[in-house]
Amino acid sequence: MLTYLGQRFLAALLMIFIACTIVFFIIHLLPGDPVTLLLGDGAARPEVVAAVKKKLNLDRPIPVQYAEWVKGLSRLDLGSSLQTGAPVSKELVRRVPRSLELILCALFFSSLFGIPLGILGARYPDSPVGWACSTLAVMGFSSPVFVIGIVLIIVLSLLLGFLPSSGFVAFSEDPVRHLEYLALPSLTLGIGFMGVVIRVTRSSMLDVLAKDFVRTARAKGLTEWVVMVRHALINSMIPVIAVLGIRAGNLLGGTVIIESLFDWPGLSSLLVRSCYDRDYPVLQGTLIAIFVLFVMISLCVDLCQGLLDPKLKRR
């Protein structure tokens, strides 16, 4: 098990380095001059542009810029924003926890309801209960998240007044208000992903329930509850965990619509804004943060699968 995790960790470090290198060179090949965008067309005289490029170290050759960037990256120095001059790492420290708590709450909600509904659908596949679970699954993954979000805003915020429609308050300032603002966006993402969790759980459970060891457990006289939970559920969680990990990684930079709809300041909105502004340091830093978090999530998924899969425990 330790050998397997060590190999995965070394591979993750290599992937992060390769991804960072690719991101650096691709970003510098993007059309448009960040200095001209920063100064504006009216003030972008050649001598002014040259002076600003020299100040921002953008007048150096690309390989030299890359070497300096890698040196700073080794010290966890991601540079400063071309637009505001603020350190990129400081902005990421503020944004990363907001995106993580949104993603984790959404995955918790989707797992809390999706896994039990998937088990019910597998336990009663040809009954009204199973059909209802399948219907909920189809409705969940076929509905666009922005439609779900708008419906939740209309019902829970405008009509019933239970939750605020959008906004953000830091947890340190007002914990209760922070959770109220977090509820709607995480609920929107959770409902959208709950259908996938139901389908994967149901499919995996049906496959496991047809195995010989499940029939043996039933033949030994074990109760159906023990068979479902102790034998079938644990073995069927491996693909579910993999799907949850992939979904969490995709959401790191893929919640632009949700963050815009609910005015939630996370990584996705920072990524889009840095693209529009041609803010190379912020764009690079945000992508690196997403890559690192994605690799960490993948390692956590591998660890969980290794604990559940006997084949990986022996490696």
Measured CA to CA in angstroms, residue 118 lies from 123, 166, 194 at distances of 9, 31, 10
Coil vs helix vs strand at 80: strand
Q: What is the CATH number of domain 94-313?
A: 1.10.3720.10
Using one digit for the tens of pLDDT, what is the confidence trace for 171-187? 888 889 989 899 999 99
pLDDT above 80 for 146: yes
Structure tokens at 268: 């996705």
Mean pLDDT lowest for which of 169-178, 194-203, 277-286?
277-286
Average pLDDT, integer, range 19-47? 68
pLDDT of residue 292: 85
The token pair that represents 287 in the structure block: 């992508």
Considering the entire predicted model, what is its pTM? 0.79
User: In DSSP terms, which residues pair with 297 in a beta bridge?
Assistant: none
Residue 315 has pLDDT above 60, yes or no: no
Q: Where are the domains of the chain?
A: 94-313
Token code pair at residue 176: 């209760």
- Phi and psi angles of residue 122, each rounded to the nearest 5 degrees, phi first: -80, -30
* DSSP structure class, residue 282: H
Give the distance from CA 187 to its chain's centroid. 15
